[in-house]
Amino acid sequence: AQSVSQHNHHVILSEAASLELGCNYSYGGTVNLFWYVQYPGQHLQLLLKYFSGDPLVKGIKGFEAEFIKSKFSFNLRKPSVQWSDTAEYFCAVNAQSGTYKYIFGTGTRLKVLA
């Protein structure tokens, strides 16, 4: 069965620090990968997605993620965080077969201190 794990549940950073959030999935086939963000009191929004091609994908607000197939990972990065990046971040996987069911990770709560 597919699963997604996010190892960091809570991350606290100061503004301008670099960010890397881990995401690993388990699925033997081809997958589509996503990062969503949920700002306080708001709904989930897409940050970026990987479908095929260049494994380094760039998203909105300066975020990027790298798909490393051999490690089943899709880590999210940002070189310099801002206070407004305080939010919950969810990694999600969608297998390219079957029911195309999204599996979400448990989320990482990021708090950026001003």
Partner 1 sequence: DTAVSQTPKYLVTQMGNDKSIKCEQNLGHDTMYWYKQDSKKFLKIMFSYNNKELIINETVPNRFSPKSPDKAHLNLHINSLELGDSAVYFCASSQVRGLADEQFFGPGTRLTVL
Binding residues (CB under 8 A) for partner 1: these are 32, 34, 36, 38, 42-46, 49-51, 88, 90, 94, 96, 99-104, 106-107, 109
Closest distance between partner 1 and the C-beta of residue 86, in Å?
14
**Looking at beta carbons only, is 64 or 88 nearer to partner 1?**
88
Say which amino acid occupies 47.
L
| Integer angstrom CA distances of residue 27 from 31, 55, 106 | 8, 17, 17
Closest distance between partner 1 and the C-beta of residue 46, in Å?
5
**Looking at beta carbons only, is 75 or 94 nearer to partner 1?**
94
- φ, ψ of residue 9 to 5 degrees: the values are -90, -35
**Looking at beta carbons only, is 70 or 99 nearer to partner 1?**
99
Q: Nearest CA to 76 among 8, 30, 2? A: 8
Closest distance between partner 1 and the C-beta of residue 88, in Å?
6
- For strand 108-113 and strand 87-95, is the pairing parallel, antiparallel, or unpaired? antiparallel
